Amino acid sequence: MEYSIDIFIKDSDRNMLGLSEIFVHWGDEWFSQDPKQYSFDSTLIFEKHREINFFKRYYDIFMSDDSSIENYAGFKLLGDFELITNLEWLINKKQPELTDHPWLPFFRKLYALPEFIIFFVKNGDEIEKQFSVHSEKELLDAICNRLTWKTTLSGALITKTEWRYYDYICLLI
């Protein structure tokens, strides 16, 4: 499967999440990339979104009246999708190595933030389900359920924020 993962957090929470900017070296100087890139624990690479109009146009309707996606910094997962494919395989084969997977520390740190939004989409499809998580376990379950081969849902919006349609959100456990 092909996955697209975009994470939105308050820009002030970037350091709490442990995202470090990746600089390029040229001659005797170090430069930011354009767009900026960040790494988590040297295993996950994210690119900071410069333009969030796509997300605003399609998903801002889900935000509460006093919140907007414009209040967040967006980061798109780049590069080695082998980590996602590997996690998908471990989940579906119920392998014990799952607890050592590099994604798990990232999601644990993400949950520790006051709020976040994850756009988790399979095969370029649309968001079909919203999840509001209230514990680290619910976050990990929501991610793992998106990666099971049994699921018919292609996209999910996973949040730790207040949403308009909160009463209609349920989490598959």
Can you give the three-state secondary structure of the chain, one letter per residue?
Answer: CCEEEEEEECHHHHHHHCEEEEEEEECCEEEEEEEEEEEECCCEEEEECCCCHHHHHHHHHHECCCCCHHHCEEEEEECCCHHHHHHHHHHHCCCHHHHHCCHHHHHHHHHHCCCCEEEEEECCCCCCEEEECCCHHHHHHHHHHHHCCCCCCCEEEEECCCECCHHHCCCCC
What integer pLDDT is reported at residue 166 of this predicted model? 37
Is the model's pLDDT at 32 over the cut of 90?
yes
Q: By residue range, what is the domain housing residue 31?
A: 3-168
Give residue 161's pLDDT band: very low, low, confident or very high (50, 70, 90). Answer: low
| Residue 61 within a domain | yes
| Residue 80 within a domain | yes
| Residue 173 within a domain | no
Entry pTM = 0.79
What integer pLDDT is reported at residue 40 of this predicted model? 92
Number of folded domains that form the chain? 1
User: In this predicted model, what pLDDT tens digit does every residue of 48-68 receive, in sequence order?
Assistant: 998 777 777 766 665 555 556
11-15, 69-73, 165-169: the lowest-pLDDT one: 165-169
